[in-house]
Amino acid sequence: MLYPLSYRRMGLASPCGQPCPGARGGTDAVERTGSPTGGAGTAPPHVRTGRHIHGRKKPIGCRVLGVAHRPTGPSLPPQPIEEPTRMASTTPAPVAGADAPAVVPDLPDLPLPRRTDDRLVYDAVTYARPLGFRPLLMDVHVPADADGPVPCVVWIHGGAWWDGDRRFTPGNWPKDDHWFRLVVGSGMAVATVDYRLSGEAHHPAQLADAQAAIRFLRHRSADLGIDPDRIGVSGESAGGHLAALVALTGDAPVPPTERSVVGPSSAVAAAVPMYPVTDLSAFGPDGPDAAADTAGAPPWVGPTPEDRLLGRPVGEAADVARAASPVGRVHAGAPPMLLLHGTADTVVPPGHSERLAAALADAGAPVRLELVPGGEHCFDRVDPVPALRAAVDFLAEHLRA
């Protein structure tokens, strides 16, 4: 299924067949000092081995997917990740509050699961009932032959915060359930969640809903066969933005969604945001993506998706925009994070992931950045499967699947 994953100029077709903001190319100036196979010579335009942040060279352990490297440059500080092609395995510490007493609203019972060839699926599980809104639902896919509780990945769909559906992934990915099969096939459950869209409620409602989903999963973990201490999060596009926020606010949750489970922690042990928006102000006239945002594109009329998310123009709500941006929530205690981004993304330029990765590295948090050469938004124009497998491998490693 195709759904809009745009962030500006919604009437135009995106590279992956969805309405999109039009040309948003060009990010930071970069050095190009190697070939994609590791040999000498000039790399293709989208293979990055260095970048500028605020006018200065900022090294960070990263790789172009399939090509491990470290950016070169003078006086590199020690890297927070010893080996950029694979983060050292960590054992998730017990999550504070995972066993805390829960305050549970009146919610429907879990549905009976249906069995497929590889999993048990609990369809349309109600995890919250915010007053004045539709019930919030999730589908939980659990390995059919699991021997004991399994880790769980919370999946957050994209759609510019105003569209999308928990049941579907981008139309250029293989099959609607390929991503879910990859996760389940690695021995993990996946809970794919709906949340209130920007036409229904403004930030921080979307983050509050995602946190409510995690608390619900911890509360019902024994019934669902998942391990409450091994929960991770992933999402794409707008969902990647929310996944990053979830990872960075686990110990400081926003006020809870009405009629949701309260008590257990909403912290996660690992995160994989895919081509996320990480700075809501980046597309404004003074933002780092301003040139890419306006080059060759028709004038924007009406509120942007970022404005709709906040319920006011981003330029008039700098503090709110900062709090709603992952780059404004960085701290040293963040869980291990893998950022995946196409180098040719004209919807959300790769500078979003680059800047978040740099900020996390500066804070001493474990982070890895993987760039997909030639990848448009949704990893369109390239085979998305290697990036999806990298996401699953990272989550399985850090959730001890």
In a domain, residue 311? The reply is no
Count: domains in the chain: 1
Per-residue confidence (pLDDT) for residue 316, from 0 to 100: 94
CA–CA–CA angle 161, 113, 398 (5° rounding): 60
Per-residue confidence (pLDDT) for residue 102, from 0 to 100: 86
In a domain, residue 309? The reply is no
Burial profile 90-110: b = 16 or more Cβ within 10 angstroms, e = fewer: eebeebebbeeeeeeeebeee
Of residues 382, 395, 380, 372, the one with CA closest to residue 62: 372
**199 Cβ contact partners less than 8 Å away, ≥ 6 residues apart:** 162, 308
CATH number for position 349: 3.40.50.1820
**115 Cβ contact partners less than 8 Å away, ≥ 6 residues apart:** 121, 144
Q: What is the CA radius of gyration of the chain?
A: 20
Per-residue confidence (pLDDT) for residue 301, from 0 to 100: 73
Give pLDDT < 70 ranges for the chain.
Answer: 1-100, 285-287, 290-300
Per-residue confidence (pLDDT) for residue 289, from 0 to 100: 74
Per-residue confidence (pLDDT) for residue 302, from 0 to 100: 77
pLDDT per position as a tens digit, 286-297: 667 765 544 445
Beta bridge partners of 273: 235
Do residues 271 and 265 lie in contact, with contact meaning Cβ atoms separated by under 8 Å?
no
| CA 218 – CA 152 distance, rounded (Å) | 10
In a domain, residue 133? The reply is yes
Residue corresponding to tokens 């190697």: 34
Per-residue confidence (pLDDT) for residue 61, from 0 to 100: 54
In a domain, residue 208? The reply is yes
In a domain, residue 273? The reply is yes
In a domain, residue 76? The reply is no
Instruction: Name the helix (H) or strand (E) containing 213.
Output: helix 205-219
**56 Cβ contact partners less than 8 Å away, ≥ 6 residues apart:** none
pLDDT per position as a tens digit, 352-381: 999 999 999 999 999 999 999 999 999 999
Domain limits for position 364: 114-279+319-398
In a domain, residue 296? The reply is no
| CA 60 – CA 64 distance, rounded (Å) | 12
Per-residue confidence (pLDDT) for residue 10, from 0 to 100: 37
Of residues 384, 331, 288, 355, the one with CA closest to residue 58: 355
pLDDT per position as a tens digit, 375-394: 999 999 999 999 999 999 99
In a domain, residue 69? The reply is no
pTM of the model: 0.79
Kindly report the number of other CB atoms within 10 A of residue 12's CB atom.
15
**Residue 148 vs residues 41, 226, 278, 297, 351: alpha-carbon distances, Å:** 51, 8, 36, 53, 41
